[in-house]
Amino acid sequence: MRFFSLFLFLFSPLWSGHNAGTFDPATMELQGMDVSHYQKEIEWDTVVARQTLDFAFVKATEGHEYQDSMFCHNWDALRRLGIRRGAYHFFRAYGCGVEQAINFLQTVDMQPGDLAPVLDIERTDGVSPETMIEEANIWLQLVESHLGIKPIIYTNQYFYETYLAGHFEEYPLWIARYSDERPLLATGKKWAIWQYSNEGCIDGICKKVDLNIFPGTSDMLDQLCWFPASVAAEQDVAP
């Protein structure tokens, strides 16, 4: 897709200077954002026409029954425009992991090439950390079993180091730390995606938006994407 070509890597001031400098494939960074109903109805055609956007995550569900009111609009628009997309579930620690996983799986129609599902876990909701970990683990296992790919875990650096460090180490990590300095986790775990700002001002979006970096190339980002077994098999035998 043209949006993922290395030759379309443009240096726009909208991304807070993280992509400023001389183009260097060895230090390639892909630019992304994440949105929900909070951003209201997004003019996605304007967004992709006026700034580089390599990937986007959209809120799909929360808890055991809530579906984001703008999910379908955002999900369908990103596919139409050829932007690599991912869906996330906002986890409620007091809720049943099984019911929350079902809510997500029934809401999100995954297509080959979509980013792996995301579990957004950033609140204890008044329950014990042990209960939170247990129910989150149930969600992760059910979604992974159903789709055949490990979900991504999203959280902020403080929450990770306070509650999640030492758990879910085999899952890719998307870390929030609003700073010019890249996150360095106390455990030494490597993050896959960095949410570096929640103050993005983007043409086509009426509210401020979260900005993210993937430190790699489009081919590297493919490793975080969902490809059903039948599609993967076809790719393996293609000439």
Q: Which of 6-20, 70-84, 103-117 has the lowest mean pLDDT?
A: 6-20
Which tens digit of pLDDT belongs to each residue from 148-202?
999 999 999 999 999 999 999 999 999 999 988 899 998 889 999 999 999 888 9
Residue 17 counted as domain residue: no
d(CA 56, CA 75): 9
Of the listed 122, 161, 170, 234, which one is catalytic? 122
* Total of domains in the chain: 1
pTM (two decimals): 0.84
> What digits encode the pLDDT tens for the residues 59-77?
999 999 999 999 999 999 9
Which backbone phi and psi does 216 adopt, to 5 degrees? Answer: 180, -170
111 within some domain: yes
| 181 counts as catalytic | no
Instruction: Sort strands 55-62 and 84-90 into parallel, antiparallel or unpaired.
Output: parallel
What CATH number is associated with residue 79? Answer: 3.20.20.80
Q: What CA–CA distance (Å, rounded) separates 97 from 13?
A: 41
For residue 168, the enclosing domain spans 26-237
Whether 7 is in a domain gets the answer no
118 near 154, Cβ under 8 Å? yes
Rg (CA), the chain: 17
Residue 73, SS3? helix
